């Protein structure tokens, strides 16, 4: 009877042990290399743990090759949490501006912080300030400018011509006089046809008595 009881206990222990082993997580303490063409983890994979970081190296491209079951559309790679990026973001093989592979954002953007860089937008698009300048009437000179190359000429008192290197005739602009109380400046874009490589911007400034007056001015082009 004792032998039967002992055998029963041992059998139960053996089954329990095997059951536990079959469902326990496997720990690898050594370096391991998976050399298969496809090493699949169909039920997910956990890398790292609370309080322990580390680096995961992806020497290649991350893609999601699955599709929706109803339409067959591609399913994007999804990050289900905040994403911290300590390096730069770019698209294509080469970083930096000037190529035909700009970063594409297909959504609205909320910026929480300061955009600590210059913002530039091609003149054929709406929305962002394209160019700006400050004209010093006493020196007859564009003191500061950005976005477009421009030269200035004073034709007469309160009459100025600005020659731009690019077309601006489909853009919006604002003129703000400076240095003369109650001065008003008005502008008109001319020479659209005769100047195919750019546009001419004519500006006239007047005082409160409608007399021509020299005035510094800010010109912003949107």
Residue 26 belongs to some domain of the structure: no
Instruction: Please check whether residue 135 lies inside any domain of the structure.
Output: yes
- Contacts (Cβ under 8 Å, ≥6 apart) of 184: 177, 205, 206, 207
Number of independent structural domains in the chain = 1
Highest mean pLDDT among 2-16, 33-47, 187-201, 202-216: 202-216
- Chain-wide mean pLDDT for the chain? 80
Within a domain: residue 137? Answer: yes
Query: Which of 21-25, 105-109, 134-138, 142-146 comes out lowest in average pLDDT?
Result: 21-25
Q: Where are the beta strands (DSSP E) in the chain?
A: 131-136, 141-146, 150-156, 159-164, 173-178, 184-190, 200-206, 216-221
Share of the chain above pLDDT 70, in %: 82
Domain that holds residue 217: 131-221
Question: In this structure, is residue 174 part of a structural domain?
Answer: yes
Q: Is 113 part of a structural domain of the chain?
A: no
Amino acid 50: pLDDT: 84
Q: CA nearest 199: which of 125, 128, 123, 144?
A: 123
The stretch 119-139 carries a mean pLDDT of: 79
Task: Indicate if the pLDDT at residue 8 is higher than 60.
Answer: no
Entry pTM: 0.49
Residue 157, pLDDT > 90, answer: yes
Beta strands across the sheet bearing 173-178? 141-146, 131-136, 216-221, 173-178
User: Token pair of 199, please?
Assistant: 């546009």
Q: Tokens 């421009």 identify what position?
A: 150
C-alpha–C-alpha distance, residues 221 and 168, integer Å: 8
In a domain, 59, yes or no: no
């Amino acid at each position: 009877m004792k032998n039967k009881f002992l055998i029963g206990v041992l059998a139960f222990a053996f089954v329990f042990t095997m059951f536990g082993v079959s469902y326990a997580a496997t720990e690898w303490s050594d370096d391991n290399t998976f050399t298969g063409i496809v090493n699949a983890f169909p039920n997910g994979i956990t890398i790292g743990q609370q309080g322990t970081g580390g680096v995961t190296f992806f020497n290649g491209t991350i893609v999601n090759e699955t599709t929706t079951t109803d339409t067959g559309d591609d399913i994007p790679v999804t990050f289900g949490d905040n994403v911290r990026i300590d390096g730069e973001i770019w698209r294509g093989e080469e970083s930096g501006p000037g190529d035909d592979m700009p970063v594409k954002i297909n959504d609205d953007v909320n910026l929480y912080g300061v955009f600590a860089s210059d913002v530039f937008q091609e003149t054929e698009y709406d929305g962002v300030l394209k160019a700006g300048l400050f004209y010093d009437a006493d020196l007859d000179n564009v003191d500061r400018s950005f976005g477009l190359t421009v030269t200035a000429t004073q034709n007469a008192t309160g009459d100025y011509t600005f020659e731009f290197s690019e077309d601006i005739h489909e853009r919006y602009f604002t003129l703000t006089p400076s240095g003369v109380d109650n001065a008003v400046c008005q502008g008109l874009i001319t020479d659209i046809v005769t100047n195919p490589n750019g546009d001419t911007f004519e500006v006239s400034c007047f005082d409160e008595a409608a007399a021509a007056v020299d005035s510094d001015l800010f010109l912003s082009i949107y």
